[in-house]
């Protein structure tokens, strides 16, 4: 075999190996990204469940009152100074302000009062919590799907 033929064969093999390595790295990246996004979804669901527990305790201590929309979830960390100032506040109900953020570092949304249920449109939920998922945009599918306290299917990892 001539030297030029051997060089061509080596270059072709090197190209194939390089292309395979790039493809493998890309697949590995996608796998790691999906696992990371899934773990951030789980963390967000855990934090929303902790916030729900804290709101239940707040509700009991404060005579049936929840933090207002204006007071927000920070009322679970520090006693609200804005009216109505809750009597009986016995917090903090959460020990770390980071627990008010979703797995992607964005504030978990708090709506008080909450929305209405499709099966009972005349009745409002006391509050709603929401995270807009990996992409931070309302809506989405898969790992970008919103996590909504009022939709049980989204509160399952």
Give the three-class secondary structure for 51. helix
Binning pLDDT at 50, 70 and 90, where does residue 4 land? low
From residue 106, how far is each of 12, 28, 46, 66, 131 by CA, in Å?
Answer: 48, 27, 15, 22, 8
> Distance (Å, rounded) from C-alpha 73 to C-alpha 157?
23
* Whole-number Å distance between alpha carbons of 128 and 115: 7
| pLDDT beyond 80 at 43 | yes
Residue 99 burial (CB count, 10 A): 18
Domains and CATH numbers, the chain: 43-155 (3.30.700.10)
% the chain with pLDDT above 70: 82
47: nearest Cα among 99, 108, 105? 99
Among 44-48, 64-68, 118-122, 153-157, name the one with the lowest average pLDDT.
153-157
What predicted TM-score, i.e. pTM, was given to this entire model? 0.76
Q: What's residue 122's pLDDT? A: 80
For residue 14, the surrounding DSSP H or E stretch is helix 3-61
pLDDT in the model for residue 121? 77
CB 56, CB 13: distance < 8 Å: no
**How long is the chain?**
157
Look up residue 119 and give its two tokens: 């099966």
Determine the pLDDT at residue 60: 95
Look at residue 7 and tell me whether its pLDDT is greater than 70: no
Q: Which of 44-48, 72-76, 108-112, 119-123 has the lowest mean pLDDT?
A: 119-123
Listed range (36-40, 89-93, 95-99, 144-148) with the worst mean pLDDT = 36-40
Give the range among 18-27, 99-108, 115-124, 130-139 with minimum mean pLDDT: 18-27
Strand pairing category for 128-131 and 147-148: antiparallel
3-state secondary structure of 122: strand
Question: Which residue in the block uniquely carries the two structure tokens 């807009």?
Answer: 132
């Amino acid at each position: 075999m001539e030297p030029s033929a051997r060089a061509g064969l080596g270059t072709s093999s090197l190209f194939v190996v390089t292309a395979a390595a790039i493809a493998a790295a890309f697949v590995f990246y996608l796998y790691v990204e999906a696992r990371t996004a899934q773990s951030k979804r789980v963390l967000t669901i855990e934090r929303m469940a902790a916030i729900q527990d804290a709101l239940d305790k707040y509700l009991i201590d404060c005579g049936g009152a929840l933090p207002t929309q204006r007071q927000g979830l920070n009322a679970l960390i520090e006693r609200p100074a804005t009216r109505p100032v809750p009597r009986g506040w016995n917090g903090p109900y959460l020990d770390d302000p980071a627990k008010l953020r979703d797995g992607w570092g964005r504030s978990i949304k708090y709506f008080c009062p909450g929305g209405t249920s499709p099966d009972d449109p005349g009745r409002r939920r006391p509050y709603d919590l929401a995270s807009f998922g990996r992409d931070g945009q309302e809506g989405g599918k898969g790992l970008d799907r919103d996590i909504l306290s009022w939709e049980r299917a989204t509160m399952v990892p």
